[in-house]
Structure 1
Amino acid sequence: MERLIWGITGKRPERKPKLQPVIQADDLSSEKGVNYTRLRDLLGAGEWKEADEETLTVMLKASSREKEGWFDTESINNFPCTDLRTIDQLWVKYSNRRFGFSVQKKIYLEFGGKADGEYYKEAWDKFCDRVGWKVKGNNWKKEDVAYNTSAPEGHLPVTTSFLYPTLSIRLSLRLFRLLFSHQDL
C-alpha cells in the first residue's frame, strides 16, 4: 500500500514504527515456591474442571498439606497471603470476574455474612443458593458442579468443598468461611 501511495503522490510515505502490543504478564508469586503456571494455563484455556482440581493441588502445596490431602483449620488460617492472592487473581482474570474466592467473598458479604470464620446460617443459605451450591440434604456432589461460564457468578472454584466426602457440606463449607476471613481477598 505504501508503494502505491508513493507511486501516485510521488512522495514517500512516512513509516511509523509498529507498536508491539503490551502483554501484561500474570503475577505468579508464591511465598512457598509453588509454580502456578499450569493453573494459569488451564484457566486461560477455559478448562474449568481441570483448573478447579489444580487449585486444590496448588493450595495443598502452598499449605504443606500434600501428604494429608486435605486442609485443617490451622492450615487455612495460616494460608500464605501471596499464594491466596495469586490463585484468586488468576481465577478472577481468566473468568472475566465471574469466578474466584474474592468474588465468592463479595457475594457472601452481600448476604450479611461476616469475614470472621463464623457460621451465619441465613447468609450461607443465600450464598449457596446464589452461587448454585444448593444443598440437597447433605449430599451435594461433584456432579452438581457446572464447569462452564454459564454457571452462576461465584460458582467456582469449589474444589475445597469436596475434601471431606464423608462429612456434610456445611462442615466442608467451614473451610470457605475461614478462607473468606483472610483480609487478602
Structure 2
Amino acid sequence: MATASLQSPHHPHLYHCRHRRHFPSTTTSSSSSSIFPTLSLSSSSSSTSTTATLAAILAPVTSSPTFDALAGLLAAKDFQQADEVTRRLLIALAGEAAEKRGYVYFSEVQFIAHADLQAIDTLWLRHSAGRFGYSVQRRIWKKARRDFTRFFIKVGWMRRLETEVEQYTYRSFPGEFIWELGDGTPEGHLPLTNALRGTQLLGSILTHLAFEVEEEEEEESAEKEEGEKDVSSSMRLFKPDYSF
C-alpha cells in the first residue's frame, strides 16, 4: 500500500461513493478497500475493473434523504449510515445537476444555503457531544494551518505505520474507520467528504460562509462575555466604600 509521511507533498484524497466505495489500487481485498487513491497505480490493474468501479462511483443518486432521516440515524448512533446520508444530502442540496451526475462539484458548494449546511453540522454536533461535524473539522484544519495531510492525520483518516521513520498510510474503507463514538475516536473523524477529484470539495465545505458566520458570532459572544467579566471584576475592585 502506498504511504505518505508527514512531510509528504501529496494530499490524500478521501472519497465517498454510493455503492461500492472502492478505488482501483495496487492491492485489492474482498473485505475492504482503500478510500484513498494510491500514489501510483499498478499496470496490471484491468481497464474493465476500473471502468466498472468508476461507473459505481459516478452513479446518480435516485432518491434524496431528509434532515429527519439524518437526525434519526445520528440519534440511534448509526454513524456509518448517517455518514452516507450526509453525503447524499449534500448532493441533493447542491442542485439538480449534482443529483444527475451523482456527486458535487466544489464550485457548487457556495450555492448550498447557509441554514442547510448549519443544520447538518448542528445534528452531527448534537449527537456526538461536539466531537463530529464540519465546524469541528474546520477548527482542526485551521489549527493544522490548512494543511490537508496534517488534517487527515489529526482526524484519523490516515494511520501511522509501524516503521522507524514516521510514516502514514491511508485507511481502508470501511473496516479501518471508526463508526462509534468512544474515548479513542479522533475528534472530527466524521463525516467523511468526497475528495475523489482532489481536496477542493472538502476545502469548499470547510470555508463555506455558513461556518465563517458561525465562527464570527461565537467570537463576538466570547468577546462580549469576556468584556462583561472584566467590567464585573473592575466593579468589585473599585467598589466605593460608603461605610464611614
Where on the TM-score scale, by shorter chain, does this alignment land: which range?
0.5 to 0.7
In 2: Cα distance, 1:89 partner to 1:70 partner: 23
Q: Report the counterpart of residue 140 of structure 2 in structure 1.
A: 107
Out of 181, 192, 196, the position equivalent to 1:158 is 192
Q: Deviations over 1:90-138 (max 9, x none)?
A: 001111101000000000111122xxxxxxxxx222211110011766x
Alpha-carbon distance, 1:140 to partner: 4.4
Question: Match for residue 76 of structure 2?
Answer: 45
Alignment TM-score, normalising by the size of structure 2: 0.51
Question: How far is 1:160 from its partner?
Answer: 2.5
Letter in 2 for 1:160: N
The whole-number CA distance in structure 2 between the counterparts of 1:54 and 1:159 is 12
In 1, distance between residues paired with 2:122 and 2:151?
21
> Does the 8 Å contact 2:138/2:206 carry over to 1?
yes
Matches of 2:193 and 2:78 in 1, distance apart?
Answer: 14
- Checking the alignment, whether the CA contact within 8 Å between 1:99 and 1:155 is kept in structure 2 is yes
* AA at the equivalent of 2:112: F
For 2:208 and 2:92, locate their aligned partners in 1 and report how far apart those are by CA, in whole Å.
Answer: 18
Structure 2 residue aligned with 1:174:
200
- The separation in 2 between residues aligned to 1:183 and 1:60, in whole angstroms, is 18
- Structure 1, unaligned runs of 5 or more: 1-32, 114-122
- Partner residue of 1:129? 153
Please say if residues 55 and 159 of structure 1, whose CA atoms lie closer than 8 Å, have aligned partners that are also in contact: no
Partner of 1:146: 178
AA matched with 2:158 = K
Name the structure, 1 or 2, with higher relative contact order (CA <8 Å, separation 6+): 2
| Per-residue deviation, 1:157 | 0.1
Farther off after superposition, 78-87 or 92-101: 78-87
Provide Cα deviations, 1:17-57, integer angstroms capped at 9, x if missing partner. xxxxxxxxxxxxxxxx9731000000011000000001011
What's the offset of the Cα at 1:68?
Answer: 1.1
For 1:37 and 1:156, how far apart are their aligned partners in 2? 18
Q: Is the 8 A contact 1:53 1:159 kept in 2?
A: no
Aligned residues: 135
Q: Aligned partners of 2:209 and 2:124: how far apart in 1?
A: 18
What secondary structure sits across from 1:82 in the alignment?
A: helix
Measured on the aligned residues, the alpha-carbon RMSD in Å equals 2.0
Deviation at 1:159, TM superposition (A): 4.2
- Determine the structure 2 residue equivalent to 1:57: 88
1:145 partner amino acid: F
The CA deviation string for residues 62-113 of structure 1, in whole angstroms up to 9 with x for no partner, is 1122221111122123222111000000001111101000000000111122
Gaps of 5+ in 2: 1-63, 160-167, 212-244
Task: Report the secondary structure of 1:107's partner residue.
Answer: helix
| 4+ runs deviating over 2 angstroms | none
Alignment of 1:79-94 (within 5 A): 79-94=112-127
Do the aligned residues in 1 keep the contact of 2:156 with 2:186 (CA within 8 Å)?
A: yes
TM-score normalised by length of structure 1:
0.66
Secondary structure (helix, strand or coil) at the match of 2:194 reads: helix
